[in-house]
Structure 1
Amino acid sequence: MHETKETWFFSYDSDTYEYAGAVKAAECPDNATDIEPTGLIGPIFNIENEKWEGKTIADEMAKLAKSAKMSIDPDKQMLSSMMATMMKQEMRIQQLEAEQSGGAK
């Protein structure tokens, strides 16, 4: 008895070519390919070039990281910087006062 080996195929919508899921089968079904859409968000199959296209996860993560950096409120950043400076000045004043009161003894 000959056993047929099944493999994974990746199906796409026949109208939009958007990824529609994975199917394990002995032969490639209609509107499917054995090319895996790895690392893509919302992949779309390009029939002419026989490849999946779409946004990469790495690109989207980079955009999110960039937008997170850009979303820092400049007023809050300035206030934080001013508070740090004031704390340093207060510590220096306390240090000078301690030195002065220690020297007066």
Structure 2
Amino acid sequence: MTGLQKAAAIFKILSVESRVQILHMLKQRSFCVNALARRLGISQAAVSQHLRVLRDAGVVAADRQGYFVHYRVSPAVLAQWQEVTESLLRLEESGEEYEERIRQRCPRTGT
């Protein structure tokens, strides 16, 4: 996957406001589906669907704690996403430089 494809995949995942809110909350601490649903004012099913997309992208991980599953951000993947998006938005960089930077820094990510 090229750097531009990675950036497009990241922005597609973040194109839903609820997912951005979930990521923001999970950066602070881990939450279960019920707590996320209550705080966001959306259904548990909707939260679960958003978490599936985020888990599939590798940016969110799940930890079972008793009867509940708590979700947390994967710092390594979030750092890669930051590099991809910052590199894309860097004004002085050409397309080739961008592709090379992403290839070097994020050789094998899920996005």
| TM-score, scaled relative to structure 1 | 0.26
**Which of the two has greater helix per residue?**
2
Which has the higher Rg, Structure 1 or Structure 2? Answer: 1
Indicate the structure with greater strand content: 1
Structure number with the bigger relative contact order (C-alpha 8 A, sep ≥ 6) is: 2
